[in-house]
A and B are shown apart, each in its own frame.
Chain A
C-alpha cells in the first residue's frame, strides 16, 4: 500500500519538471525510482523506507524546481548563472525554512491544522466528485435517460417503471429517443462449474448496445435474432464470471453454461469496466447479487407485448439535440394512441390512461442513479468546508501572533532598504511553504480517508467503485492550498500598516498595545465557535436520527439469532407448484431437525428486502367503482413456521399451517396495517379478499389471521400493507414461490449454523446454491448503515471543529491573559484575590464563547433545514439537540479558558510587574 502510494506520489512529482525534461527522462526516472524503492523495501525497515521516500521526493522536487528555474532563466551556461529571480527566491525559501525551524511550535500547529482540514476536504470532495459530478462510465453519458411512469390514479409518488408494451410503442413512434433498451433482473442457479452458485442475470433487449455503446471484450453482444429460437439460448458473460468460473479462458466463446438447468451458448464476454446495471446503478437495486450475465429478451414484439406488466426497467439514449423534457412531452403525446395500437388489450390501455392516469417521466440517468445520495454528499462537503474555515481561522490566528514576532525582522529589512516586492516575497514564501506542505500532507491523509470511506461506506452508496483520488481532486487540493496561502499572506501585510518606525520603537509590549489586533483575533474566535456550533447541531441531529432509527421496532425479533439464506429452484426440475411446495416443506422439516434449531420457516421476500411484488386487493362485498383501482398491497409466500421463526407476533386468528398449502385452502394472513386500512373497526377474520386484477369466482382467499407489521423497504417507512399466502394458493397467480428465503431461529450462533444448513440443502438437491447467507441482525445493521455512515462522518467533522474551536479560544484567552499580566499584577498587588483573577479571565473567554454560540445557534437554525430529507423522526429545529450542543460548547469553552485562568490566578505580582 505504502509502496504503491509512494510510486504514485513520485509520478506526481515528476510532473513538476518542464515538459522537455519530462519527455526525455520521466519514464526512465520512474523506472529507476521503482527499482530503488523495491531495493529499499527489501533491505530497510519501516523508518528506513519512509526516510528513503522522503529523501527521494525532496530530491525530485528540488531538482525539478532548479530545472524550471533554468528554463525560465533562459539557455544559460551550464546553469551556473541561474536567473536572478530564481536564485533569490531559492534563497528566500532557505531563509523561510530556517525561520520556521526556529519556530517549531508554530510550524507544527499550522501544518497539523491545515493538513487535517485540507485532507478531510479533499477526501469528501473526491467522493462527491466521483459519485455526483463525474459522468457515468459510458460514452456521451449525458445523453442517457431513465424512462419511468407515474400513476397519480394509484396514489401520489407511485413510480411504475416500464412495461414491454409501452416500451415497444415508444420505441416505434418516438423520435426524441435515438435508442432505448428494456431489461429486468432475476436470479438463477449456475451449475456444472464448481459449487452451484446463485447469481444475478439480466434479461435485456439487444438494443442495450446502441444505448450504452460499450463493445464486448470477446465475441459479440446480443443481436435481434438471439432468443427467437427457443431451443438455442445464448448468453453474454460478465468479466467477473468469465474470470472466476471460466479461468479467463480466451476461447470461451462457443462453450456452454448451465443456468437453472438450461444449457446456454456463450457468445461474448463484456469488459471488466462494464457493470450494467449493477455497480453504476446500485442505488435502486435492493441488495441483489450483481448481474453476472446477460440473456436476450423477446417479449417486446410490438404486436404481442404486454401493456400492463410493470416489472421491467428501461433506459434510452436521446436523439442528438433532444432534451429529457422534449422526450417526456413526446412520449406523453403518444399515450392516447394506445387503445388503437393494442386492440387486444384495449381494456387495459383505457384503464392505464383513464384510471391510472399514466404519465411518462424522462430524467437524466445520472440523476436517477445518484438520487438521494446527492444531498447527503453535498451536506458532508459543506460540513468539511466549515471545518476548513475553522482551521483557517485558527491558522490565521497563529499567523497574527507570528506577524508580531516577525514585525521587527521585516522592519529591519525595510529600514535597510528592502523594497515592497522584497517584503511581499518574505511573507509569500512562508505562507506558501506552509500551505504547500499542508496540502501535501493533506493529500496523504485524503488518500487514507478515501480508502476508509470506500471501505466503510454503506453498500447502498451508488457508484462506490468509481470513488478514488482523481486529478480533479488534486486540482481541488491545489486550489485550497493557494487560497490558504493567499489568505495567510494578506494577514501580516494588512497588519503592516503600523509602519516601520513604530515597530522598531516598540521594544516591549505595553499594557494597552494591540487593541485592534485583539479585536481581529476575537472576531476569529467568535466565528470559529459559531461554525463549530453549526456543525455540532448538524451532527447532533444525525445522532438523534440514528438513535430513533435504531429504536424503531422492526416488527420482528431481529437482534436475536436468526439465520437467513436464499435458494431458488430451476423450473426444469421442479415443473409445478406442488413440486416446489413439497421441496420447501421438506427442507423446512429437515432444517428444524438440526440441533439447536427452535423454529424454521420460508418466505418469498424478507422484511427490508424491498417491494418484491404485489397486486391490487379487492374485498368481497365491496364492488369496485368504475374508474377506481383498488390499492396495491405487497404479497409474500410463506410456509408454516415463518412468523414463529421471525418473531412476528400473531395478533388475531391463527398463523399459516402446512395444510393451507397442501390442501389449497386459500387461507391468507394479513398485516395489522392492512387490517386497519381495509377493515377499520371490523373483524377481518373470515373475510374474503382477492389479490389481482379482475376477480373471478375461483381465486378468493379467506383471511385466517392478523400479524404484526414489518417494514418492506427501509426501517424509516413501515407503511406497506402486506398479505401472506401459502406456497400453493387457490391458483398460480401472484408472487412466485420458486425462490425463497429460509429463516432459522436457533438457540446458538446463527452464522455457526450456516454449514449445517448448506449440507441440509444439498442433501435434498446437490445442484442448488445458497445466496445471501446472513443473520437478521446483519440485515438490520445494513439498513441502518447509510444513516450511521453520515452520522459518523458528521460526528468526526464536528469533534474536529469543536477541538479547533477550543484550541482557538484557549490561544486567544491565554494571549489576552498574558497581555494583561502587568494589569493583573497590579490588581493582585492592590489586594485582588486569586478568585477574582479566575473570574476576570473566565469572563474574557465566556464572552467570546457565548457570543459565538449565539451566532452559531442562529446559523444552525437557518441552515439545518437542508438536512430535513436525511433526518428520521427528528425536526431540524429539535430543541433537545440545540440545548445539548450549547451545553457542550460552553463546557468546552470553560475548559479552554480554565488553564489561562489558573495561570492568571497564580501570578506573582512582583514578577509580573518586573517583567515589563
Chain B
C-alpha cells in the first residue's frame, strides 16, 4: 500500500484545521472538549454546532488525520464518550497547512496587505 501523501489533503477547511490544532498538544480529547477549545482559540468567532463538529470529526477520521483513542487515565470519567487524537498523518497535514498559511501571510506582507499587529 502506498504511503498516503499529506499534500493530497490540502487545503484543510477552517474548522478541520482548528480541530487539528485543538488536538495538537493533548493526548486525546472528546468532542465536547474539542468544540470548546475551537471556540476558545478563535475567540468565539468559530463556534460549530454539534452537528457540524461531528461531521468534521467523522471526515477527519475517514481521511486518517485523526483516530479514535483511549482516554488519558485522569480523564476517563465517562465510558460512553468517544476520544480522538492526532495521527502522524494528521500532524504532518497540520504542519503543511500551517506552512501554506505562513506562505500566504508572507505574500500578503510583501504586497503590503498585512502589517504585524502591535505587540
Segment 5-28 of B: residues with Cβ below 8 Å from A: none
Q: Which of B94-110 contact A (CB under 8 A)?
A: none
Known contacts A25-B58, A79-B59; decide if A31 and B51 are in contact (CB<8 Å): no
Residues on the B chain within 8 Å of A28, using CB: 30-31, 54, 80-82
A637 shortest CB reach to chain B, Å: 62
Residues 47-95 of B at the A interface (beta carbon under 8 Å): 48-55, 57-59, 62-63, 78, 80-82
**In whole angstroms, how far apart are the Cα atoms of A66 and B54 in the complex?**
12
A66 to B59, CA, bound (A): 12
CA of A67 to CA of B48 in the docked complex: distance in angstroms?
16
Assembled-state Cα–Cα distance A32/B81 (Å): 9
Q: Is the CB of A67 within 8 A of B31?
A: no
B interface secondary structure, majority: helix
A22-38 residues at the B interface, CB under 8 angstroms: 24-25, 27-29, 31-33, 35-36
Minimal beta-carbon separation of B45 from chain A (angstroms): 15
- Asked whether A78 lies within 8 Å of B62 as measured between CB atoms, the reply is yes
Is A29 in contact with B80, judged by CB distance below 8 angstroms? no
Which of B50, B55, B57 sits near A33, CB closer than 8 Å?
B50
Q: For residue A33, which residues in chain B have a CB less than 8 angstroms away from its CB?
A: 50
**Cβ of A56 under 8 Å from chain B:** yes
Q: How far is the CA of A32 from the CA of B84 in the complex (A)?
A: 14
Binary flags per residue of A40-84, CB closer than 8 Å to B gives 1, else 0 = 000000000000000110111111101100000000001100000
A28 CA to B51 CA, complexed, in Å: 11
Alpha-carbon distance A325/B44, docked complex (angstroms): 70
Bound complex: CA of A36 vs CA of B31, how far in Å? 11
Contact A66 B30 (CB under 8 A): no
CA distance A58 to B49 in the complex (A): 9
Across the interface, do A29 and B54 meet the contact criterion of CB distance under 8 Å?
yes
**Does B51 lie within 8 Å of A59, measured CB to CB?**
yes
The CA of A799 and the CA of B30, in the complex, are separated in Å by 52
Is A274 an interface position by the 8 A CB rule?
Answer: no
Chain A neighbourhood of B114, CB < 8 A: none
Query: Per-position contact with B for A1-41: 1 when CB-CB < 8 Å, else 0?
Result: 00000000000000000000100110111011101100000
B63 touches A59 (CB 8 A): no
Closest to B48 in A: A59
Q: How far is the CA of A28 from the CA of B54 in the complex (A)?
A: 9
CB distance from B94 to the nearest CB of A (A): 17
Please determine whether A60 and B31 come into contact, CB atoms closer than 8 angstroms. Answer: no
Task: Decide: A66 and B55 in contact? CB cutoff 8 A.
Answer: yes
Given contacts A58-B49, A60-B49, A78-B63, contact A25 B54 (CB under 8 A): yes
Residues in chain B near residue A24, CB distance under 8 A: 58, 82
Are A59 and B81 in touch, CB under 8 angstroms? no
Q: What's the nearest-Cβ distance from chain A to residue B83, in Å?
A: 10
Whole-angstrom CA separation of A59 from B63 in the bound complex: 22
- Chain B residues lying within 8 Å of A64, measured Cβ to Cβ, are 51
CB pair A56 B50 closer than 8 Å: yes
Task: Chain A residues near B49: list those with CB within 8 A.
Answer: 55-56, 58-60, 63
Chain A residues near B48: list those with CB within 8 A. 59
Contacts of A36 in B (CB 8 A): 32, 35, 50
In the complex, which of the residues A25, A28, A56 has the most CB atoms of chain B within 10 Å of its own CB atom? A28
A61 and B82 contacting across the interface, CB-CB below 8 Å: no
Query: Once bound together, how far apart are the Cα atoms of A754 and B35, in whole Å?
Result: 58
Q: Given A28-B82, A31-B78, A31-B80, decide whether A62 and B32 contact each other with a Cβ distance below 8 A.
A: no
Contacts of B50 in A (CB 8 A): 29, 32-33, 36, 56, 59-60
Q: How far is the CA of A35 from the CA of B34 in the complex (A)?
A: 13
**A27: which B residues are within 8 A, CB to CB?**
80
Residues of chain A with a CB closer than 8 A to B31's CB = 28-29, 32
CA distance A549 to B82 in the complex (A): 63
Residues from chain B with Cβ under 8 Å of A59 in the complex: 48-52
A residues less than 8 Å from B80 (CB atoms) = 27-28, 31
Q: Which residues of A contact B30 (CB under 8 A)?
A: 28, 32
Q: Assess the A21–B81 pair: CB atoms within 8 A.
A: no
CB distance from A233 to the nearest CB of B (A): 47
- With a cutoff of 8 Å between Cβ atoms, the chain B residues found around residue A78 in the complex are 59, 62-63
Q: Which of A73-104 contact B (CB under 8 A)?
A: 78-79
Encode contact with B along A502-534: 1 for CB under 8 Å, 0 otherwise: 000000000000000000000000000000000
Closest residue of B by beta carbon distance from A10: B50
Q: Measured between alpha carbons, how far is A155 from B64 in the docked complex, in Å?
A: 83
Whole-angstrom distance between the Cβ of A517 and the nearest chain B Cβ: 43
Residue in A closest to B47 when the chains form the complex, CB atoms: A55
Q: What chain A residues lie within 8 Å of B81 (beta carbons)?
A: 28, 31
A61 to B50, CA, bound (A): 11
Given A28-B80, A28-B82, A78-B63: A61 in contact with B51 (beta carbons within 8 A): yes
Residue in contact with B52 in the complex, picked from A25, A35, A63, A79, CB distance below 8 Å = A63
Question: Contacts of B58 on A, CB cut-off 8 Å?
Answer: 21, 24-25, 67
Most buried by A among B49, B57, B63, B78: B49
**Which B-chain residue is minimally distant from A33 (CB atoms)?**
B50
CB closest chain-B residue, reference A64: B51
Q: Residues of B contacting A62 with CB < 8 Å?
A: 51-52
List of A residues within 8 angstroms of B35 by Cβ:
32, 36
A36 to B52, CA, bound (A): 14
Q: For the complex, give the distance between the alpha carbons of A56 and B81 in Å.
A: 19
User: In the complex, what residues of B have CB within 8 A of residue A66's CB?
Assistant: 55
24 contacts between A and B (CB under 8 A): A21-B58, A24-B58, A25-B54, A25-B57, A25-B58, A28-B31, A28-B54, A28-B82, A29-B50, A29-B54, A31-B32, A31-B78, A31-B80, A32-B31, A32-B35, A36-B32, A59-B48, A59-B51, A60-B49, A60-B50, A64-B51, A66-B55, A67-B58, A78-B63
The 10 nearest A-B residue pairs measured at CB: A59-B49, A60-B51, A63-B51, A59-B51, A32-B32, A63-B55, A28-B82, A33-B50, A35-B32, A32-B31
Q: Given contact pairs A25-B58, A31-B78, A63-B49, enumerate 20 new A-B contacts (beta carbons under 8 Å).
A: A21-B58, A24-B58, A25-B54, A27-B80, A29-B50, A29-B51, A31-B80, A32-B30, A32-B35, A35-B32, A55-B49, A56-B50, A56-B51, A59-B50, A59-B52, A60-B50, A63-B52, A63-B55, A66-B55, A79-B59
